[in-house]
Chains A and B, each alone.
Chain A
Amino acid sequence: NAGVTQTPKFRVLKTGQSMTLLCAQDMNHEYMYWYRQDPGMGLRLIHYSVGEGTTAKGEVPDGYNVSRLKKQNFLLGLESAAPSQTSVYFCATERGSGYNEQFFGPGTRLTVL
């Protein structure tokens, strides 16, 4: 079992370019999350999903869109990248139905020039 995987691991974009980050899980978890991690700020929730076909905004959703067309995949899109979106992005999954452990992917390091 791969657990939670993220693609790509690294990416450099120019301002205004678009890209999609893919999170895939093989744990059959209902909940999936996208976080960004910035120095001195911990993890902040961008968007999340409580099931296939559902998405919701987190703490810092501006500039990002998400889709959960299949239960195992959660996509994070940047339509027009900005330098402020330079960060490390983590995907996490959770079994659901109340508090359980969140399982994290290895992260994607994104630099926007």
Chain B
Amino acid sequence: AQSVTQPDIHITVSEGASLELRCNYSYGATPYLFWYVQSPGQGLQLLLKYFSGDTLVQGIKGFEAEFKRSQSSFNLRKPSVHWSDAAEYFCAVGARSNDYKLSFGAGTTVTVRA
């Protein structure tokens, strides 16, 4: 069965600084990987996804993520954080063998300080 670990429960970053959120997955074959963002009181919105091909994927809002098979990781990055990036971020993994259902990590809350 697939699973996802987000090691950081909470990260605080200064506005303008870079941000990296960690995601590690467990799955035997090539996974389908996603990052979602949840603003306070809102549903989840897809930031980016990786299915195959180029291991560096670009998403919305200036985010990117890199798939590293050797490390079973799919870390999310943003070079310069804006106050509006304060939110909760979820990594998710899916597999064709599991009928494409997604397994979500516990989430990382990002606080942006001025």
Q: Which residues of A contact B (CB under 8 A)?
A: 4, 35, 40-45, 48, 58, 90, 92, 98-99, 101-102, 104-107
Given A90-B44, A104-B44, A104-B45, the answer on whether A40 and B9 have CB atoms closer than 8 Å is yes
* Majority-rule SS of A interface residues: strand
Given contacts A4-B43, A99-B51, contact A42 B104 (CB under 8 A): yes
B100 near A98: Cβ-Cβ < 8 Å: yes
Q: How far is the CB of A34 from chain B (nearest CB, A)?
A: 12
A32 to B12, CA, bound (A): 34
Contact size range, B: 20 to 34
With A99-B100, A101-B49, A104-B44: A42-B107 Cβ-Cβ less than 8 Å: yes
List, in ascending order, chain A residues with CB within 8 A of B105's CB: 42
- Inter-subunit contact A43/B90 (CB<8 Å): yes
Question: Does B113 count as interface, using CB distance less than 8 angstroms?
Answer: no
10 nearest CB pairs, A to B: A104-B43, A42-B104, A43-B104, A104-B44, A42-B106, A101-B46, A99-B32, A106-B43, A42-B105, A40-B106
